[in-house]
Structures are given as structure tokens and as C-alpha cells.
Amino acid sequence: MSATLLRLLDALEVELKHQTLWCDESPTPAQLASQLPFAVDSLDFHQWLQFIYLPRLRDLLAQGARLPSKVAVYPMACEVYKHELVLRGPLLECIAQLDEAMSGKAVER
């Protein structure tokens, strides 16, 4: 399962880069320290994916730690990109597949 999750995380990174949503500059420590879900007060959603979500999941996998099973990133992504669903479709699909792999449940598309 961890090989599948690593592949999905890599696919998400590739898609963020493909859609030119990958940032070269890191957010400030204060921005990364947000306590709100998805760091909505300090980061754009794609920044949260890049600087918080991807590293956190990769760290958990590297440590052999248990990943969260109650995951709902896909609904948030759909809300964030609701006016760009066609453009962001491949990105949303990557996120949906990650949600499904971690939760073991199909997401409603």
C-alpha cells in the first residue's frame, strides 16, 4: 500500500507542476504554522498541498506511521476549484485517488 500511496503523492506533485501551481518559494514559518484546516488563513490551497499535505504524508510513510483514514481533501479541492473544474480535473482526480487510497472508500465525483 505504501508504494501505491507514494506513487499517488508523486502524481499529485507532477500535476501541481504541470498546472503551474508549484511554488519555488516556501511560505514563511508563520504561514506554515496556521491552525486552521487547510491553512485557509495563510496559504492558497495549492500551497497547502505542496508545503503541508505532501510533506506530512511522505514523512508518515517514511516513518512507517499509520496514515489518517478519515480523509476529505477532495471535497475541499472541489470547492476551491469550483469555477475551474474542467481545467483542474486532472488535479482533482489525483486528490480523489489519494482520498480513496487512504480511506478505503470511494469519493463521490
- Report the pLDDT value the prediction gives residue 20, as an integer from 0 to 100: 98
Judge whether residue 22 has pLDDT over 90: yes
Judge whether residue 1 has pLDDT over 70: no
Q: Where are the domains of the chain?
A: 2-103
How large is the average pLDDT for residues 6-16? 98
How large is the average pLDDT for residues 4-30? 97
- Report the pLDDT value the prediction gives residue 38, as an integer from 0 to 100: 96
For residue 51, the SS3 value is helix
Decide: residue 91, CB within 10 A, 0-12 exposed, 13-18 middle, 19+ buried: buried
CATH class as words, domain 2-103: mainly alpha
The model carries a pTM of 0.94
Which range, of 1-5, 17-21, 101-105, averages the lowest pLDDT?
1-5
